Structure 1
Amino acid sequence: MMKMKNIIKYSMIGIVVLLFLSVGGFYIWSQQTYAPSKEMYSLVGKVNTDSEHHWDVFEPMKNKETGIILYPGAKVEPEAYSYYAQGLAKDGYTVIIPSVKFNFAIFDVNKADQIMKSYPSIKKWYVGGHSLGGVAAASYAYKNLNKIEGIIFLGAYPSNTNDFSNLNVPMLSLYAENDGLSTMSKISKTKHLLSKDAAMYEVLGGNHGQFGMYGKQKGDKKATITAQQQQDKIIEVTMKWLDDNGK
């Protein structure tokens, strides 16, 4: 009887140790992030970070009534999307890019609520995200349709549990020809989940990593245009789509 109790005891200890090591290993891996490139900083300069709330803020000179919340891709630092955000801010949109738990937006889906409460003067909100950040944005939007004006996907698509096909939700899906992660095949296979009001745009020559500015990403394909060229194109298309939807 005592022997059996010892077996159970040491088995439980073993399970706890393995769980601890697994959690610790995941945490260490999650902190190995994709940092903004030197090119991004040379183009944008100093990024305005709200250190209290842990998000980056890009505000226009005037017309601050429409905001965009952009969830970063998995393990990508928020500042990597600064060039894109700055471009939209110049057109009159307040853009906020939050830091998220464990650098995975899917663990911090409701971050948008905190942001919206912090900016009561903003009357209209769009949510969007890159890669897994787009999945998180779609998840938030699906449960909070009354709070958002539309969704922006950057090399991303909604999960199967968030089917917008029968909903009237303005959407913009930006995808890239040489994306090795959110591939053309994946974009095509998930198109049925988008709303009837979805607009889609293929960035010719672009890849996954260049939806931000953080350099090469494992599993991605090589782009045939520069990061700045891809960024300028997605800024142009996004601004037109936003303007068409009304500020």
Structure 2
Amino acid sequence: MKKFIKYSLLTLGALLIVGLSGFYIWTQQTYEPSDELKNLVGEVKKEDGWVIYEPEEWNKAEGVILYPGAKVEPEAYSYLGQQLSEQGYVVGVPDVTLNLAFTNINKAEEMMERYPSANTWYIGGHSLGGVAAASFAHNNLKKIDGLFFFASYPAGGDDFSQKNLPILSIYAENDGLTSAEDIEESKRILPEDTVFHEINGGNHGQFGMYGPQKGDNKAEISAQDQQDLIVETMVEWMEK
């Protein structure tokens, strides 16, 4: 009996190690920034685990924190960061542990500490990054002035329906990973005045710039066009 228990524990331990190893390998198979993005923004620099874009004249004292989608490298959102910075916002996209934002939900605090003069902060994320950003916002309502989702929505436990927080939800017509039904279902845990905006012809992967994503549908517009529409929608929402 003792030998059976011993061998059973050894087998379970081996299976656990194999499972964890497989999970780790999976998290390291990331989506890298596309050549199109590199041509648009040039060299992307990362400092202290953040891709940061500062405006030339920072007169708004407003910041944007964007949590990346699962296994998407932060550099893939550089075009969004660059374009938003040209509108006067300081923008930060963080590295996250295992390339999964839910492992670093409180990562936004680093950006806030880095720019203490900023008196207005918007936080959000793409796909799984949006779920993590919503969790941070739900637990830090006094620190956040707005929450945005790119093809994303809160986890069921983060109910904002009775919270006084401006929220923007941008989704895409041809998204193969976050469906229109998912967005519709999310409305029950979001405030009535949440702004919803659909990008016609867009898809899931083009909320960043990292090329095709497994399970996604083909976009009918270019990645740059989709990104420009995202920036336009965000700026209009933030300025209100």
Task: Tell me the CA shift for residue 120 of structure 1.
Answer: 1.4
For residues 32-87 of structure 1, the C-alpha deviation after alignment (integer angstroms, 9 at most, x for no partner) is 0011100001001112310xx21100000112611111000000000111111111
Aligned partners of 1:169 and 1:197 also within 8 Å: no
For residues 192-231 of structure 1, the C-alpha deviation after alignment (integer angstroms, 9 at most, x for no partner) is 1112331111000000000000010111111111101101
> Where does residue 233 of structure 2 map in the other structure?
237
Give, as a single letter, the amino acid of the residue that structure 2 aligns with 1:238. Answer: M
> Where does residue 76 of structure 2 map in the other structure?
80
Is 1:61 paired with 2:56? Answer: yes
Number of matched pairs: 239
Aligned partners of 1:127 and 1:148 also within 8 Å: yes
Give, as a single letter, the amino acid of the residue that structure 2 aligns with 1:24. Answer: S
Q: Secondary structure at the match of 1:146?
A: coil
Is 1:35 paired with 2:32? Answer: yes
Is 1:125 paired with 2:121? Answer: yes
Deviates more, 1:190-199 or 1:208-217: 190-199
Alpha-carbon distance in 2 for matches of 1:55, 1:188:
33
For residues 97-140 of structure 1, the C-alpha deviation after alignment (integer angstroms, 9 at most, x for no partner) is 00101111011111112221222122211111000000000010
Alpha-carbon distance in 2 for matches of 1:11, 1:114:
44
Give, as a single letter, the amino acid of the residue that structure 2 aligns with 1:144. Answer: N
> Where does residue 108 of structure 1 map in the other structure?
104
Identity of aligned residues (%): 54
Q: Secondary structure at the match of 1:110?
A: helix
Q: Secondary structure at the match of 2:55?
A: coil
Structure 2, unaligned runs of 5 or more: none
Aligned partners of 1:73 and 1:131 also within 8 Å: yes
> Where does residue 135 of structure 2 map in the other structure?
139
1:17 to 14, 21, 30: 14
Shift in CA distance, 64/14, structure 1 to aligned 2, threshold 3 Å: farther
> Where does residue 44 of structure 1 map in the other structure?
41
Alpha-carbon distance in 2 for matches of 1:89, 1:196:
30
Q: So what's the TM-score if we normalise by structure 1? A: 0.94
Q: Secondary structure at the match of 1:241?
A: helix
1:209 to 185, 191, 205: 205
Q: So what's the TM-score if we normalise by structure 2? A: 0.97
> Where does residue 186 of structure 1 map in the other structure?
182
